[in-house]
Chain A
């Protein structure tokens, strides 16, 4: 079956530090890959996505590259801000017609200190 493994948190960084959150996946087909972010008290928001190998998703300074050879989709940001403090979820979606079910990792909490 499908699975997603993320690095455990919390990750604590100072403002303007470089961020990497590791994500690896197991899937039977050729999934689409996503990063979602969950701010306190809110639902999940799509941060970025990539639909095929070597695609790079990017949004709000965050980037992730779909690496089929290493089955990875690591999230990076060059300079984090306090407002980036949240829980980040890596997810995959099999391309099955008529069905859209995401498989999520367990989440990584990011804490950015001023």
Chain B
């Protein structure tokens, strides 16, 4: 079975631009979460979606938004990019609402903002 897939792998944007990152969960997984990992730090929780509904939001500005589609894939959007948004963005899926304690992570999208 395919794991969590994310696209693109790498992305370069300039300040003020908008970016969309994509994630496909493991087949059968209905929950998708997004994390931001700044170089040298641990991942920080951004969003969790389950059955197309937002179930949790971390401490990120409104420039960050996300959605989940009927096939459980997800997009993360970031508007008005700042230099500080440069990071590895990780998507994770799980198979149970709340009760699924094992998250499966993708390899991430490396975003560079110049």
Contacts and interface: CB of A to CB of B under 8 A. Distances in A.
Interface of B: 4, 31, 33, 35, 40-45, 48, 50, 55-56, 58, 90, 92, 94, 97-98, 100-108
Nearest to B53: A98
Contact of B45 (A96, A102, A107): A102
A100 interface: yes
18 contacts: A42-B107, A43-B90, A43-B92, A43-B106, A44-B90, A46-B103, A46-B104, A98-B55, A98-B97, A100-B33, A100-B56, A100-B94, A101-B58, A102-B35, A105-B42, A106-B40, A107-B40, A107-B42
Contacts of B43: 44, 89, 102, 104
A105 B43 CA distance: 8
A7 to B, nearest CB: 13
Most buried by A among B42, B44, B48, B104: B42
B56 A43 contact: no
A51 interface: yes
Contacts, number: 71
Interface of A: 4, 32, 34, 36, 41-46, 49, 51, 89, 91, 93, 95-107
A41 B41 contact: no
Contacts of B45: 101-103
Given A44-B90, A106-B40, A100 B105 contact: no
A91 B44 CA distance: 11
A72 B15 CA distance: 41
A89 B4 CA distance: 19
Contact of A100 (B90, B98, B107): B98
Contacts of A91: 42
